Copies of this chain bind each other. A is one copy, B any other.
Amino acid sequence: TLAEMTAEQFQSNALDGVNVVITAGPTREAIDPVRYISNHSSGKMGFALAQAAVEAGASVTLIAGPVALVSPERVKRIDVDSAEQMHQAAMDSLANCDMFIGAAAVADYRPAQIVEQKIKKSADSMSIELVRNPDIIAAVASHPQRPFTIGFAAETQDVISYAKGKLAKKKLDLIIANDVSDSEIGFNSDNNAVTVIWNGGEKAMALASKQQLSRCLLSEIAEKYKNSRAT
C-alpha cells in the first residue's frame, strides 16, 4: 500500500541527525494532596510519534505527562506531572532542539492555590479558582532559539477553523487537527484521523493506527522541515 511504501522509504533516514522534542499525554493540576484536574489524553499519539521519529533517524526527547505507557526504545524520556513542569522541561530542551512537536494535552488552567492538606468537605457547593497555565507551544514558537514547531488542535467542534486560527496566532509551522468528539479516533483510541495544516495548505490523513499515522505524519513533517531549512 501507499502507506507502507511511505513508511519504508521514510524509515531510512528522513530525520537523520535531527534533534526532536515531543510532548505527550495529559498534565495533572493539583487541587490538594489527593485531588487534581486532568484530561482524557492517553499519550498514545505522542508516544507513537516518538517511535516513528526514532525509526526515521532522529534523536528524540519525549516529555511525558502521567501516562501508563512504556517508552519507545532509544528515546530520552522526561516525566512531568503539571503544565508548569512540562513548560520548564520544554524550555530546557530548546538549547538542543531542531523540531518541537507539542502532542501533549496541556491543562489550560490550574488551581490558583494548591491546598497543602486534603480539603474537608462541608458546604453543599464550592468553587475552585483557576489561573492560566503557560502556553507551552506558543512559548516555544516565539523563543529566540525557535525550532521548527508543530502543534496539535484537539477540538470537539469547528475543528479545522479552530486549528487554522491556532496556527496563525501561535506562529506555528504546522498544526495537526483532530476531532476528539468522535470516539473512534482521538484521546483513548488506538486509531486516529487528522488534518495537517500549514500556512497555505492542508492535507487530510485517513483513519489509521496511531503508529501507522505517525509514520505518514512524520514523512510530511520531515519534508516541510527540509523545505524550511532550504529557504
Contacts and interface: CB of A to CB of B under 8 A. Distances in A.
Contacts of A125: 109, 112, 129-132
Contact of A156 (B34, B107, B108, B112): B34
Interface residues of A, number: 36
A23 to B, nearest CB: 16
Nearest to A157: B117
Contacts of A130: 125-128
A38 to B, nearest CB: 6
Interface in A1-44: 31, 33-41
B36 A31 contact: no
Contacts of A221: none
Interface of A: 31, 33-41, 68, 105, 107-109, 112, 117-118, 121, 123-132, 154-157, 180-181, 187
